[in-house]
Each structure stands twice: as structure tokens, then as C-alpha cells.
Amino acid sequence: MYLDDIKAYLDAMGASSASWPIKIGFMPDDSDQCIALFPTGGYPADTLGRENTRPTFQLRVRAGRFDFPIAYAKWQECFDLLQDAQHTSGSPALLVGFYLVQAMQTEPLGTIDDKNRNNLTNNFRVMKSR
């Protein structure tokens, strides 16, 4: 699944750690700090041969109640790694088959969850070969 590839890329680039785990499809309730990736649908294939897929996903970063600056810094780190990311010739085997990862917004949407924790979200679109 393409989100496994995105997670592996963020892991390899140093965005995750023991205190900042990256999850796919959920955010555990037992820790304040977390990065998560959620599938959000996508767009139809871009050519008649349908050799490319165009999925979308959401990046979600969460930190504690009074930790908005910490959440924002981690969101910015992830955003900068993902914006315009792609596999390039000669690069490590990261994002193989990815032509483009591009943000759909330039700033995150901030919300507060039921435990008063800061949540910052941003949506991305992907163009990837099958």
C-alpha cells in the first residue's frame, strides 16, 4: 500500500522516533505525541492506459494540550519532507514509482481532540505508477 511507502520514507528521513511514532489508519489514544497517515480517496487515473494511480492521504500530527509549538514544528518537518517528494534516479530505494507527492493546502488545519490535545492535519495528493 502506498501509505506504507510514505511511512517508510518519513521513517528513513528521521521524522519518527520512539516519542514520535508513525501510524497508518489510527492514532493510539494512550500517547499525546503521534504522527498518522490516513487514506482519503483519490482521483481517477490520469491516462487511458491507467498506468498511474492518483491517491490522496491525510497527514495528522498530534501533541499535548499545551504543546501547539511542538505539534507545529513536527508538522512542519513532515510537511517539508513530503512536499514535492519523489523517487529520483540514484536515490535510495525510497518512494520507488512515486512521481509526485504534493500538498493540497499550505498550512495545517488545527483542531483540539476530546483530551484537549492539539491536532494538525494536511492533505496530500500522490501520482504513482502501478
Containing H/E element for 32? none
The angle formed by the CA atoms of residues 92, 95 and 100, to the nearest 5 degrees, is 125
pLDDT at 50: 72
Whole-model pTM: value is 0.92
pLDDT at 48: 66
Question: How many domains in the chain?
Answer: 1
Say which CATH number the domain at 102 has: 3.30.2000.10
Across the chain, which has 130 residues, the per-10-residue mean pLDDT values are 94 95 96 97 78 93 97 97 83 83 96 96 93
Distance CA 68, CA 58 (A): 19
pLDDT at 94: 86
Residue 82, domain extent: 2-129
Distance CA 70, CA 77 (A): 11
